[in-house]
Structure 1
Amino acid sequence: MTFVTQFARRFPATFTAARHAAFGVGAAVTVAAAAAAAPYCDRLLDPQAMPEKYASLAPVYASADTGWIFASNQLRQSFKIKDKPKEMLEEILTTLEGQGVKVAILVAPPRPVVAGQGILRKTMGEAAADYDTAKALRSFQDMLADLRATGAIVPDLSALALGDPDLRRRFYFRRDTHWTPTGAAESAALLATQVSDAAPELVMAEGPSIVGWKGRIEERGSLADLVRKSCDIKLPVEKTPTAVFATPESVEQGLLGDSPAEGQSGKRIALVGTSFSDRYKRDHYRVADALAAAFGRDVDNYSVSGGGLHRGMQGFVKSGGLAGGDYDLLVWEFPYTQNLNSTKRLGAVLKALRAASQG
């Protein structure tokens, strides 16, 4: 009797749920197809066999051949924003701009799309047929268009990653959910270019922000941790280079305590984000450094690891970020996995903004 047959007989409800969890009701995703991709262990496909902390992420698709790991929460194909959340996002943007703060949004693109259909087939087996990278990409880009309609500056990081084969290969870690320092640095550079087009007074840097690559960081990998705790298999850490950033004159002056350069307001940039900008209790992927170099300005990082869509923004507002007029640009960073239809989280941001305006 195969593992799949045993699993289906022992856990019929779980078997049915596993078929659909990653792709939605009606998708013909089978545990048998996933097994064909040779996962590190069968427990990755069974939420009842995985540690409780990770059970909601099953089925988890992994392959020693490709080195990639994909949890089910990363396999969304629809990013459509509903009407009510759109209205709430627009109110958030309008409120911030009313305080003199322009908003730019960095949305890290879907990992499966960046990895590509070929990697998915090798990692997920026949189950990959139910994840359409082209469909997911279209939906993601439609979501970006909806965000732009709120008044925010929103670069398309999927086009950035897919437009350069080398960057595509290095944009994401294979055994971690986050972008690499390379992905972060190139994303910050693109954002600065688009902000410069829309509001040139907000960008002080001239020339490229990335002048080379030196040194490496190590990433043990959140998905590698999942495999270790579920399968008792320790995977190697991933090592990736970090950027050497230009140090614009305006930033040097700020570090020395001098007055702002001519044409510069002296105001700073606020970064409010997620673990993509606050990992291991620090900015592990150097997002703030990348933004500082790309914009030629000081950046204060209010990001909160595990804070989701809202806690970084809440922290910024509640700490008086809008009170002193110190910021004229806010960079809101969150990955594609965040739920923009969460009226509860968006409502928490609006509540903080309203309280700040009254106080």
Structure 2
Amino acid sequence: MVASKYDNVGGRWASRLASVALSCVLSVLPAVASAQEPEADITAPVYVAKDCCTLCPKASDPDSYATTFLKDYLYLVQGEGQWLFRTEAELNITAQKDELVWDDLERMVKDLNARGTQILVYLSAPRAVVQVQRLTPEVRARFDYDGLLKNYQGYLEHLRKVGFIVPPADRFASVKKGEDFHFQRDAHWNPSGAKRAAELIAEYIKPLNFNFPPKTFVTKESSVITRRGTIAFAADVICGSRYPTESSIFYETTAPATDDLFGDEPVPEIALVGTSFSGSAEYHFMGFLRAALQTDMLQNSFAGAGFDGSITQYLASPAFQKAPPKLIVWEFPYQFFGRADHATMRRIVPLVNNGCVNRKALISNEVELTNDGDYKEILFNGGSNFITEKSKNLIVDMQFSDPNVREISSEIWYLDGRHELIRSRYNQFTNMEGRFVMELNRAPEYADQPVVDYRLQVLTTLGKPVKVKATMCSALEPGNAVVKSGAPAP
């Protein structure tokens, strides 16, 4: 047989392939042998979770809090772990320096009682009082914690003295030691705090025999939600950090269906007014209170209400004026009470009886106003029909044609030559649809003086002139206010 020239080439390739195959087998054998040997001990890696963020030195610099938002967070301090606190709102003592406020609150309570409505104030405790165990020793040493607690308790007692129903909210910090009732980096209470507050209220008022219409409510856990705290956000803005979100349980409170398909639904006899603490579904305060009392209630709280927004809006509403409830639950945080002043109360108190609605007008007028920076006369008391009614009994009720008017300044002249300037403002969250109601001055030096001239300046920036219809009436005029029957005697 004759050999081909390709046979020799093929032989060489076959030889090379065999050599490569043998090398592969030899390289694998040690690995196979080692696999059959006992395994050596392997130490698992250890991971340590470290705090992501700490406050920077800028947090103690007043210039870091230049915006309106950040002014509510003066000054951030580090608590235990990643807890953050605000010194002005949560650690410093808030003083109520305007003594007239207490007289105003007492008149407000009496006027509500005359309409068959009692009012409960839930003044939520300073966050540092409730979460004192989360303060570092250094922070606690810098602030008068005992004085803060004493001041808060003094407010509760004074509110009781002027006629409010006031649950012992100072017991908040003395139960369930170690349980947190607030978020670590947020100004609000968490659902546990909201539930505890609802339980305190229910325990306190059940013996008062309000006899609210019964309704079954059941609360259950629904889901887990996360939030970025408001204090964390402020710290992030100042320090450029990124604090983690916090999680909490989201609750639902429902009334089980009944077989009484044609039964009349009872009208709720409780009205809830307040801030985001009581208005947010995330904290679930109203749901917990419904379940604790087993009765329904009307929700009138909203975020941004501050001390006065929600109560102002509710008292002026048809819901209150046509059907005053047996009980108003008014919630606001401790730090807001220091912002209450006589000027604010002069707006709130006359709303209980709806200002000059259904009262005889002593003087009335309609005037067009502009943003020219000048005061313009809207009511003048003079001539042969001079009104001699004393200032302490007078109310001025103003309705603007533009519902966006939120800030005004009044210049009021009295018969003896005295005059006053008083500024009235609703924040952007309060909707009074352009209505302002004002008591005239009740301070001793003004109280017995008749008013001569009422002048007004619109401070809200407007694109065009606005009309205001102003009425002056006497608070001694009974009017036609609806009175609720069946409430327990105060």
Common fold by TM > 0.5: yes
User: Which of 143, 154, 177 pairs up with 1:165?
Assistant: 177
> What is the Cα deviation at residue 71 of structure 1?
4.1
User: Which of 143, 147, 152 pairs up with 2:159?
Assistant: 147
CA distance in structure 1 between the partners assigned to 2:259 and 2:116 by the alignment: 21
SS in 1 for 2:336: coil
Report the equivalent of 1:181. 191
Say if 1:277 and 1:284, in contact at 8 Å, map to a contact too: no
User: Which of 216, 227, 237 pairs up with 1:229?
Assistant: 237
CA distance in structure 2 between the partners assigned to 1:288 and 1:42 by the alignment: 40
CA distance in structure 1 between the partners assigned to 2:329 and 2:269 by the alignment: 11
Report the equivalent of 1:93. 109
Greater helix percent: which structure? 1
CA distance in structure 1 between the partners assigned to 2:87 and 2:327 by the alignment: 34
Greater strand percent: which structure? 2
Offset from partner CA, 1:247-299 (integer Å, 9 cap, x none) = 4x7xx669967335xxxx734321110121234xxx33112212222222222
SS in 2 for 1:216: strand
> What is the Cα deviation at residue 149 of structure 1?
1.4
Note closer, same or farther for the CA distance 1:237–1:86 as it changes in structure 2 (3 Å cut): same
What percent of counterpart residues are identical? 23
2:104 is equivalent to residue 106 of structure 1: no
CA distance in structure 2 between the partners assigned to 1:81 and 1:331 by the alignment: 25
Report the equivalent of 2:304. 306
CA distance in structure 1 between the partners assigned to 2:221 and 2:300 by the alignment: 26
Say if 2:80 and 2:134, in contact at 8 Å, map to a contact too: no
> What is the Cα deviation at residue 78 of structure 1?
4.7
2:340 is equivalent to residue 324 of structure 1: no
Which amino acid letter does the alignment assign opposite residue 46 of structure 1? Answer: D
Unaligned residue ranges in structure 2 (runs of 5+): 1-52, 359-490
Note closer, same or farther for the CA distance 1:355–1:245 as it changes in structure 2 (3 Å cut): closer
Which amino acid letter does the alignment assign opposite residue 319 of structure 1? Answer: S
Report the equivalent of 1:191. 201
Note closer, same or farther for the CA distance 1:72–1:225 as it changes in structure 2 (3 Å cut): same
SS in 1 for 2:134: helix
Say if 1:205 and 1:293, in contact at 8 Å, map to a contact too: no
> What is the Cα deviation at residue 199 of structure 1?
3.0
Say if 1:288 and 1:300, in contact at 8 Å, map to a contact too: no
Q: Which has the higher contact order (CA 8 A, sep 6+)?
A: 1
Report the equivalent of 2:444. none
User: How many residues in Structure 1 have an aligned counterpart in Structure 2?
Assistant: 304
Say if 2:226 and 2:248, in contact at 8 Å, map to a contact too: yes
Which amino acid letter does the alignment assign opposite residue 121 of structure 1? Answer: T
Offset from partner CA, 1:35-62 (integer Å, 9 cap, x none) = xxx9521111112134523146333112
> What is the Cα deviation at residue 228 of structure 1?
1.3
2:281 is equivalent to residue 271 of structure 1: no
Offset from partner CA, 1:225-254 (integer Å, 9 cap, x none) = 10111111111111122456574x7xx669
SS in 2 for 1:217: strand
CA distance in structure 2 between the partners assigned to 1:221 and 1:257 by the alignment: 45
CA distance in structure 1 between the partners assigned to 2:267 and 2:218 by the alignment: 23
> What is the Cα deviation at residue 187 of structure 1?
0.8
Report the equivalent of 1:57. 73
Say if 1:77 and 1:131, in contact at 8 Å, map to a contact too: no
Report the equivalent of 1:353. 352
Note closer, same or farther for the CA distance 1:105–1:226 as it changes in structure 2 (3 Å cut): same
Deviates more, 1:321-330 or 1:225-234: 321-330
> What is the Cα deviation at residue 165 of structure 1?
1.1
Note closer, same or farther for the CA distance 1:304–1:104 as it changes in structure 2 (3 Å cut): same
TM-score, length basis structure 2: 0.56
> What is the Cα deviation at residue 211 of structure 1?
6.2
TM-score, length basis structure 1: 0.75
Unaligned residue ranges in structure 1 (runs of 5+): 1-37
CA distance in structure 2 between the partners assigned to 1:226 and 1:254 by the alignment: 51
Which amino acid letter does the alignment assign opposite residue 52 of structure 1? Answer: T
> What is the Cα deviation at residue 158 of structure 1?
2.5
Report the equivalent of 1:238. 246
SS in 1 for 2:186: coil
User: Aligned-residue CA RMSD in angstroms?
Assistant: 2.9
Which amino acid letter does the alignment assign opposite residue 277 of structure 2? Answer: F
CA distance in structure 2 between the partners assigned to 1:307 and 1:266 by the alignment: 25
CA distance in structure 2 between the partners assigned to 1:79 and 1:181 by the alignment: 29
